[in-house]
Amino acid sequence: MTHIVVVGAGFAGTNLVRALSAKLPDGALLTLVSDESYTTFNPMLPEAVGASVFPEQVIVPVREMLPQTRTHQFIMGSVAEVDSIARQLTLRSLSGEVQLSYDHLVLAIGNRARLDLMPGMAEHALPLKTVGDAMHIRNTVLRRLARIELESVPALRRRLGHFIVVGGGFSGVEVAGELIDCLRSIQHFYPRISPAELQVTVLHSSERLLPELSPRLGAAALRSLRQRGVTVRLETLAASVSDEGVTLKSGELIEGHTVLCTIGTSANPLLRRLGAATTSGRIIVRGDLSVPGTPGLWAVGDCAYVPNALDGNASPPTAQFAVRQARHLATNLLRTLKGEPTTPFGYRSRGMMASIGHLNGVAEVAGVPLTVWLAWLVWRAYYLSQMPSSGRRFRIFFEWFWGMFYPPDITHLRFTRSADMQADEQRRYAEHDSQTTAAAAQESVRA
């Protein structure tokens, strides 16, 4: 039995399995391996930060997306070792280590947030790469607002209310737009905070925002953010991050207790263990998405450096290209099983777009530039169409429709177990009693 194993359940991995499942010949087994049981729609993470959608609405369970049959299986686990000679994987699963043989192995493992680009980034900056990151940022923002109301020092209140976004690419612009709209929408729930005490600043090293898009659309995004009160500083290089804010290359300190970093990605550690050739943290593949020098090994999506046959350039690490690469690789794998030659990947982008807050966006579709609410509608229509089930599409559409008339949800989600809650209460009471006893002792000495 021919066994195809796909590692990674992102856009590339799930679309590859879905494309293969309906056409797989008899006598073939298809296995998807992922350490998460869901797929994250990363372009929607800024909306989760701004509470335009709930966090669970930007993820889709893997088992809901894929057929469950004897010839299709999903294993929740991580890859510990790859023996490309014996064509065998060692997995760490919920039941311990598992050995899994394969004939064809596809890596669709994406990349990771890079936290070492500047001093203090790992300790004091908040990345936005996972749904957990989005939930943590959202909770941090709500905690900052709750604390501002209790503080009396004006300088401290301003630092607590200043949210700094490092990076003016898609993620940076989108999260800044969502954040400023969210703050303005929920500010009336915090009557002791004035609008002047809430500020969002974007620091970008380039001369314009959204360098992936045309200068016209980058200028439109800049204008939209500034009109809504976002401070955007172009050609500004961040040198380090601390609990006081961001220090620039010029030595200037921009004070703010919350720093969001949307720059930099790093390779998945599995690529280093393979020993395959990489560039810019991505594994080098041939035009047909196979890895040179390793028969039976393929790579697709953000983890792969994929040449585009149409222009000779590397494909950008975007969801649009990941989906197209997955579908093309499905065709090449089927051709390989039949003993037919494979074909090189070639795809022309249909356009690029960014949502930058409520009723605001920029897009370029088939060469036509779109801005403001029309671009925002196109962005939402596209990602709604990518949802794998009609039920989930309806839920997200209803949430978006609801959000057009009502402010974002301000629930501070805490997932604390009863035992942890009781332990935390005991610790706080013990600290309070200790401080009270010490204060009483000092007062007795003075008396």
What's the average model confidence in pLDDT over 396-412?
Answer: 81
Q: What sign for the dihedral angle of Cα 350, 340, 294, 287? A: negative
Percent of the chain having pLDDT more than 90?
A: 60
91 shares a domain with 29? yes
Higher pLDDT, 69 or 290: 290
Of 25-29, 54-58, 251-255, 372-376, the range with the lowest mean pLDDT is: 54-58
Q: Is residue 369 part of a domain?
A: no
181 shares a domain with 148? yes
352 closest CA partner among 365, 361, 340, 368: 365
- In the prediction, which pLDDT does 392 show? 79
Show which of 325, 349, 373 is a domain's final residue. 349
Strands (E), 243-350: 245-248, 253-255, 258-261, 265-267, 278-279, 282-284, 297-299, 304-305
316 shares a domain with 254? no
On the question of pLDDT at 276 being above 90, the answer is no
Q: Which residue has the tokens 């729930």?
A: 189
Q: Is residue 331 part of a domain?
A: yes
Rounded Cα gap, residues 297 and 178, in angstroms: 40
CB 387 within 8 A of CB 371: no
- Condensed to tens digits (0 to 9), the pLDDT of residues 99-158 reads 999 999 999 999 888 888 999 999 999 999 999 999 999 999 999 999 999 999 999 999
- In the prediction, which pLDDT does 304 show? 95
Which CATH number does the domain housing residue 71 bear?
3.50.50.100
- In the prediction, which pLDDT does 411 show? 78
- Condensed to tens digits (0 to 9), the pLDDT of residues 9-48 reads 999 999 999 999 888 888 899 999 999 999 988 888 999 8
234 shares a domain with 137? yes
Q: Is residue 399 part of a domain?
A: no
186 shares a domain with 100? no
- In the prediction, which pLDDT does 388 show? 76
- Condensed to tens digits (0 to 9), the pLDDT of residues 384-394 reads 888 877 777 88
Rounded Cα gap, residues 36 and 74, in angstroms: 11
Which two structure tokens, joined as six digits, stand for 281? 């943290």
- Condensed to tens digits (0 to 9), the pLDDT of residues 165-186 reads 999 999 999 999 999 999 999 9
Show which of 320, 349, 378 is a domain's final residue. 349
- In the prediction, which pLDDT does 261 show? 94
Q: Is residue 380 part of a domain?
A: no
314 shares a domain with 269? yes
Show which of 245, 263, 281 is a domain's final residue. 263
Inter-axis angle of helices 170-186 and 131-148, nearest 10: 40
Q: Is residue 392 part of a domain?
A: no
Tell how far CA 406 is from the center of its chain: 26
130 shares a domain with 204? yes
> pTM for this structure?
0.88
Rounded Cα gap, residues 12 and 102, in angstroms: 19
Which CATH number does the domain housing residue 211 bear?
3.50.50.60
Average model confidence (pLDDT) across the chain: 90
Q: Rounded to a whole number, what is the distance in angstroms from the first to the last CA of the chain?
A: 87
Higher pLDDT, 160 or 364: 160
219 shares a domain with 164? yes
Q: Which residues contact 297 (CB under 8 A, 6 or more apart)?
A: 84, 104, 105, 107, 276, 290, 291
Provide the 3-class DSSP secondary structure of residue 181.
Answer: helix
305 shares a domain with 243? no
Rounded Cα gap, residues 190 and 192, in angstroms: 6
- In the prediction, which pLDDT does 421 show? 66
130 shares a domain with 109? no
Q: Is residue 404 part of a domain?
A: no
What's the average model confidence in pLDDT over 175-200?
Answer: 94
Domain that includes residue 190, residue range: 121-263
- In the prediction, which pLDDT does 426 show? 82
On the question of pLDDT at 380 being above 80, the answer is yes
Rounded Cα gap, residues 328 and 290, in angstroms: 12
CB 125 within 8 A of CB 140: no
- In the prediction, which pLDDT does 386 show? 81
Q: Is residue 371 part of a domain?
A: no
Rounded Cα gap, residues 398 and 396, in angstroms: 5
Inter-axis angle of helices 372-385 and 390-403, nearest 10: 160
- In the prediction, which pLDDT does 447 show? 65
| DSSP class per residue in 263-288 | --EEE-HHHHHHT--EETTEEE--TT
Q: Is residue 30 part of a domain?
A: yes
Give how far Cα 444 sits from Cα of 47, 316, 430, 440, 447, Å: 56, 70, 21, 6, 5
- In the prediction, which pLDDT does 397 show? 86
Q: What sign for the dihedral angle of Cα 117, 118, 120, 124? A: negative
- Report CA dihedral (132, 351, 322, 310) to the nearest 10 degrees: -150
244 shares a domain with 128? yes
231 shares a domain with 140? yes
- In the prediction, which pLDDT does 441 show? 77
Rounded Cα gap, residues 200 and 225, in angstroms: 10
- Condensed to tens digits (0 to 9), the pLDDT of residues 307-351 reads 999 988 999 988 889 999 999 999 999 999 999 999 999 999 888
Q: What sign for the dihedral angle of Cα 31, 36, 39, 41? A: negative
SS (H, E, C) 404-417: CCCCCCCCCCCCCC
CB 371 within 8 A of CB 357: no
Tally of domains within the chain: 3
